[in-house]
Structure formats: structure tokens, C-alpha cells
Amino acid sequence: MQPYIQGRNVNLTFRPPNRGPVRALQNFDIDVNEGEFLSIVGPSGCGKSTFLNVILGLIRPDSGDIRLRGSPISGPSTDRAMVFQDFGLLPWRTVQANVELGLELKGMAADARRKVSQPLIEMIGLAGFEGHFPHELSGGMKQRVGLARALATDPSVLLMDEPFAALDAQTRDLMQVELLRVWQQDKKTVLFVTHQIEEAIYLSDRVMVMTKRPGRAKKIFPIDLPRPRDYEMRVTPEFNELKLQIWNELKDEITV
Amino acid sequence: MEIVPTPAQEADSGEAPRRSFAARHRDKLLGILAVVLFFAAWQAIFLVVPFNKLFISKPDLIVLGLIDLIKSGALLRDLAVSAIPFICGMALATVVGVALGIVMGWRRRVGLALDPLMTVFYASPLVALSPLIVVYFGVGFGAKILIIFFLSVFPFIFNAYAGVRAVDPLLINVVRSMGGREIDLYLKVLMPSVLPYIVAGARIAIGRALIGVLVGEFFAASEGIGYAIARFGDLYALDKMFACILVIMVIAVAMTEGIRWAERTAFPWRAQ
Amino acid sequence: MSELLETGMAPAGDFAPARSLWRRIEPAVLGAGSIVVLLLLWELLPQLVTLQAGTKMLFTTPSKIAVTLWNMIVTGKLWAPLSVSGTGFVVGLLLSVLVGLPLGVVLGRSRTLNAMFDPFVTAFNATPRLVFLPLLMLWFGLGVTAKVVIVFIGALFPILINTYEGVRNADRGLINVVRSFGGSEWDVARLVVVPNALPYIVAGLRLAIGRAILGVVVAEFFGAEDGLGVIMVQAASRYQVDVVFAGLIVFAVLSLIMTGLVKLLENRLGGWRPQRTGGE
């Protein structure tokens, strides 16, 4: 059976105006199954985020083949949605208008949009904040809005680019629990980029370690921990064993 | 256009690792090209349109006029006559404006008391007082200096004021906690914080001071570059008038861009 | 120095209620107080020192200025010249918005056009527009046209440059968000670029108003036969100092009202912004 998302030999080189070219991805291969939660960890600048943007359709690779459900990805579409690291909320739009952005761009009428956004806003626990502007929200609340916005168009693939990196540690833990709860409900395919090994293990079905630039898949770790997962799981020996293995794989790629 | 490249991607797609001279200086070359084209078009249009030298001039005549003005020494004399009140007025505005602004930022009450007053002055078109200044001080040096001073002092006041208020109290505590004395606070925290504001104020003030020079000389002078422009206008000597206008433009650009350059060089830690 | 340090540390709860009331009204009291003191000093100056006859002729007091201004208003002598000045102001400002806004958008979106226009924008923005006045008078005479053109080139550049900055500074991350949802170029402009540029544009408008008023004043001083500025120059030559000050006040009030209206607009448009981002 063909994987849900399949990347073969993806190459991408950036050519910034005033500097030399930067090879972001080289012979990058990836297979993602339907409904799978896959995390990608790797050193800074290894091309993790770039790869998400390739899947999103915002960046076209120089060469290689990248397919979703067998058909090549040629541009953005509502079957993929991204949750951005710095939230990407339009500061001049209220919570509700931000959540409805994708629906609005699809041309949905206002009352139909509201029918979709209202339960989502309730689900993320922001009922009563519909009319607030982003600057009035905490970081955790902002990213909940970001998540709700991504879910609003009901994509089959959720791309998450270090979504919790800008949050403090406690909020981050809570958001991880929240994300698992949401994912458990409708089992979207999730590609999750992070720096934190613990976060990756806790959330994922598989964790992919990338090499330093130009990025390639170095090794993939299946995470066979039972689901639903709870917070205590993080102190079990199995969890720590995985953490150590992944760290050992990753540390050679990191240069300070 | 479905896929939109990120900024990093859009520059070029060729493989050349070292980019050509033209590619690296593309924007500057385009700018120079546009200026050259502009003057060429200005010159060329009179091959089609009849030329009336009492109404318009063209680049070749302007260059001849400029050479004439330089050779006769008239241009240099006029510039020198204008430069002296400009420099005196600006110097006075710098000293008074910076001192007042720093006191306003420093002593909270002084700041509160003077802020609205200064805002009213800044908002009102003080040029409107220039006829009075001329009436009070007569035609000449003193009136020019005063007009320039009044127009250019406010950017210094407001920027020095803002600069002192922008000093980070944390940095003061850092220097204090490491045993810094009062003088260290001034030299290591206050000066570096306030100076960029003052220089930025100077950039604004220069433009206003140039207005002051022109107003002063249009109104009340018998020499100077502003007077020269007005007189050549009266004499329908458009080539020389344009030459003087271009000279002023070059000077104005050189001064403001010079300060910008100084800002970048002297305060590299400030984000552009 | 110590005052600077305290700003970050003063605990708000330490002040008694009476003290905190004073704290709240202190800025207004001090600000108004300094203006009142200055006016009083000016008013009483002739009583405090004996002025020479020559100086006396050139001296006026706030009360005389107020009376003169009042008379100009009630006799209607103010309105005709003011409407002439106002026409030049409004037409010039309107033209500068009509040209500056679209041009700013185009330059903000096109790197090539921006590179080509940059030398001209830099040169005209750095140069006091006043240098062109003798030329404009020669071309357009002493009528309203020269005035409109001076106001126009004065007000154009703040609007043009601010629009350009606002368009160019649109957050790339937000543009990508809209594109990731399949938004078109038009959606990007509508949802990100324009809302981002609006505060810049309004701030540019505020600057432009100041420049436009300046343009009206200088144009009327040197190259017009009608308008409030003309009245002021004529008054100055007849030593009617109070009329000059009355004119200055009218211009200042005009400028304050206009910028106040724009500030109102700014606040209305800026509901999504955190209070006081400071700096512009």
C-alpha cells in the first residue's frame, strides 16, 4: 500500500540575495501513514520547517517527488493546514475572525462559518473570548486559536512547526495534553516539528531524527508506548530509554 | 501563481555561486539608470516640443549655467553667505534643544510642565512668525539665525526628551550593581542611549533649518543661495535658477544621507 | 538621576489616595500651568518693564491678540482669506493622497520600480520644497495653482513614504498564513498588506497635514495675492503685530484640529493594537 504522504529524493537549495546558496534538503525521503502522529527532531537549521512548508505547498522543491494520497503536491490547499510557531494570528482580527480565516478564504458565508468556528472555540476553551484581539490573549491562548484555525477547514493533514516553542514550560505541558485530546478525537495525520525530544516521544507514533544541514532522515524511532498517554508516562524507564536513544542519535548532529 | 517563493528563493535561480556585479548592485544601478534616463528624457523632449527659455530650461543649459556660476565665484559666495547663519542657527538649536530636552526627560515635573507647551509650538507653523522676526530684527544675519533656530530647535528638544525617557532603568541598575559611579552612568548608559536620538533629531532639524535659510533669504536678504534663486526667477534666468535648485538638492541629500550614514556607522547596535 | 531609577520601582500601592489623585491630575495641572504662566508673564511684561517707544510699537499682548482675533471673526474679515487658504490646503492635500497612496503601494510591491524611484524620492524628500516656489510662481503666477502645487509636493512624500513602508513591512509570516489557506494575491493584499499599512498611512497623513499647512503659509508669504498668509505679511509690514499673531493662532488651531481628527481616526482603526506602541 502506498503511504499517505510520500517524499522521494527531495532536494531544495535556498539562494539568498546577498549570501551564498544554502542547501536545505538533500535526498530527503519520508513516508507517513494515514492518521499517524509523526514528529521530526533535528538540529537548528536542518530544514525541518522548510520541509513542512514544502508539504504545505508554500515552497516548491528543486527536484524530487512529493505526494499526498498519491497525487503530487502543487500548492496550498485546504486538505493541509499549518500551526505556526509564532502563532501567525492577524493582529487586527478578533479570535473568531482569526479562526474563520480559512473558511472565509474558501468563500463560506458568515453564518455557516460561525457554525464551524463556535464549537471549535468552545473546544479550545476560549468561549467568551470570541471578540478579543490577539494582543489581549496569553501565549497559550493564542496558540489555541492557531490550532482552532488550522482545524476549522477540517484538513486531513495537520502540520505543526514548533507550535509550543514560544510558550513557557507549564503551558507547553498543558498544550501537549490538549493536542493529544484533539488528535484522539479525529485522528488527523500530524507532522510535528520540535526541538524537544521529550515532547516528540510523548506525542508521537514515530519520531524521525534529521541530520544537520542539508537535512536528510537519519533514523526513525517507533514509539510503542500505549495510548491514551498520561503525564506520568514521562517518568517510566521505557520513556527514558527512548529519550536516551534519540539523544544519542541526535547529539552527533548538533554543533554548538 | 500557485507557489510563491520565500524571499530567500526569489532572488535568482541560476547556479552561479558568486553573483555578478550587476546582480549584486542591481538596486543601485537601477537608480542611477533612472536618473540618467530622466535627464536624457528632459534633454530630448525639446527635440519634439518647442523650447522656451523664459519658461523652462534643459540639462545642457543648466550645466552651462552652473559652470558660469562656479567660474564667476557667485555660487560659492552665495553658499558661504547662507552657510554661516545655517551653521550658527543649527548650533544654537542643538545646544538649547538638547539641554532643554535632557532636563525635560530628567526632571519629571519639568517634562510634564513643558511637554504641552512645546507640542503647541511644534504643531504651529512657526514660519508664520518670520515676517515678525524680520520686522523686529531687520533684514540680515540676526533674523536669519533666529528663523533657523526656531524652526530647528524642536526636533532636538523632542528627541533628547524621548531619548532620556527611553533609558532602560535596568541598565542603570546593572551598572550600579557592578560598582559603577555616577560618571559611569552618564558615560556607559545615558550617553549611548540618548545620542542616537539626538542624531536622529539632527536629521529632521537639518531639513527644517534649510527651510529657515530659504524663508529668511526670500524675505530678507540681498545675498545668499535662496536670494539667488528668487533673483534668477525674477530675471527669467532659468538655467541659473535650476542650477541653484539642483545645488541645494544635492546639498540637502548629502547632509541627510551623511547623517544616516553616520547613524549606521556610529550606532551599529541599533536595529535599522 | 534618581527619578529615572524610580520609574521602574515605585510601588503604586504606597501612595495615599489624596496623593494618587494629585498624581493623576499632576500632568494636566503642570502642563496647563506652564502655559498660563507664560501667557501671564507676556501680558504683564509692559507693566513690569518700561518699553521704549520703538519697541512698544512692535509689541503686543495676549489680550490684544485675542481681541483682534475676535474682531476678525465677528466682522467676518477672517473668513474670506481663510477660505482661500483652506481651498489651497484641501485641494493640495487631496491630490497628494490621490497620488501618494497608489504610488506608495506600487513601490512597496515592486522592487524594481522602487529602486528606480528611490533617488527621486530621496532627493525631493530631503530638499525643502520651498526652493521650487520661485519656479512655480513663474509657471503658475500668483494664483491658487502655485499654492496647490507647493502643498501637494510637501504633503506627497510623507504619504508616499509611509504607505510604502507600511506595504513593505507586511509580516511575511502572516502572508504565508493566508497563502497556506489558499489565499490569492488579492486576499493577501486585503487581509494582510492593507490592514498592516493603514496605521502607517494615517500617520503619514498626520505628517502631511503639518507639511501642507506649512506649504500654504510659505506660498502665501511669497507668492500669492490672497489668503490668510498674505494678510499676515501685509499686517507685519504695517506693524500690526496682533494680526500676525492672530493669523498664527488660526493656522495653529487649524493644524491641531486636523491632526486631532486624524488621531481620532487612528484610534478608531487601531482597536486591535496594544495600547500605545510608542514611537513613529
Chains in touch with A (≥3 Cβ pairs < 8 A): B, C
In this structure, is residue A196 part of a structural domain?
yes
How far off is chain B from C77, nearest CA to CA, in Å? 19
Helix, strand, or coil (residue A22): strand
Residues C219-249: pLDDT tens digits? 898 877 889 999 998 998 888 889 999 999 9
Q: Is the complex ipTM more than 0.85?
A: no
Q: How confident is the model at residue C58 (pLDDT cuts 50, 70, 90)?
A: confident
What's the pLDDT score for residue C129?
86
In this structure, is residue A177 part of a structural domain?
no
Select from A139, A145, A160, A151 the least CA-distant residue to A98: A145
Residue in A15, A51, A74 to test binding to B, most B beta-carbons within 10 Å: A15
Residues A231-240: pLDDT tens digits? 888 899 999 9
The secondary structure of residue A215, as a DSSP letter, is: B
How far off is chain B from A187, nearest CA to CA, in Å? 28
Rounded average pLDDT over A171-199: 91
**A138: contact with C, CB 8 A cutoff:** no
> What domain count does chain A have?
1
Rounded average pLDDT over B198-223: 87
Q: Is the per-residue pLDDT at A120 higher than 60?
A: yes
* CATH class of the region C65-269: mainly alpha
With CA atoms as reference, the chain A residue closest to C192 would be A90
Which positions in chain B touch C130 (Cβ < 8 Å)? 211, 214-215, 218
Task: Determine the Cα–Cα distance for residues C112 and B11; give it in Å rounded to an integer.
Answer: 12
| Share of residues in chain B with pLDDT > 70 (%) | 91
Q: Is the per-residue pLDDT at C7 higher than 80?
A: no
What's the pLDDT score for residue C1?
33
What's the pLDDT score for residue A1?
61
Task: Determine the Cα–Cα distance for residues B44 and B58; give it in Å rounded to an integer.
Answer: 9
Which positions in chain B touch C179 (Cβ < 8 Å)? 4
Task: Determine the Cα–Cα distance for residues A80 and A103; give it in Å rounded to an integer.
Answer: 13
Q: Is the per-residue pLDDT at A16 higher than 80?
A: no
In this structure, is residue A181 part of a structural domain?
no
Residues B122-131: pLDDT tens digits? 878 888 888 8
Chain centroid, CA C209 distance in Å: 4
What is the extent of the structural domain holding A39?
Answer: 1-75+190-256
Highest mean pLDDT (candidates A63-67, B139-143, B173-177): A63-67
Give the domains, in start order, of chain B with CATH numbers. Answer: 63-266 (1.10.3720.10)
Task: Determine the Cα–Cα distance for residues B8 and B164; give it in Å rounded to an integer.
Answer: 39
Domain boundaries, chain C: 14-45, 65-269
- We report the CATH number of the domain holding residue A198 as 3.40.50.300
Residues C138-179: pLDDT tens digits? 898 888 898 999 999 999 999 999 999 999 888 888 999 999
Q: Between B135, B173, B215, which is nearest C218 by CB?
A: B215
Q: How confident is the model at residue A220 (pLDDT cuts 50, 70, 90)?
A: very high
In this structure, is residue A31 part of a structural domain?
yes
Residues 149-178 of B with CB under 8 A from C: 164, 167, 169-170, 172-173
Give the residue carrying C-alpha cell 533669504. Answer: B217
Residue C107 φ/ψ, nearest 5 degrees:
-65, -30
**C47: contact with B, CB 8 A cutoff:** no
Which of A136-150, A166-180, B165-179, C212-226 is predicted least confidently? B165-179
What's the pLDDT score for residue B10?
35
Select from B250, B214, B255, B58 the least CA-distant residue to C131: B214
Q: Between B117, B214, B218, which is nearest C35 by CB?
A: B117
Rounded average pLDDT over A147-169: 92
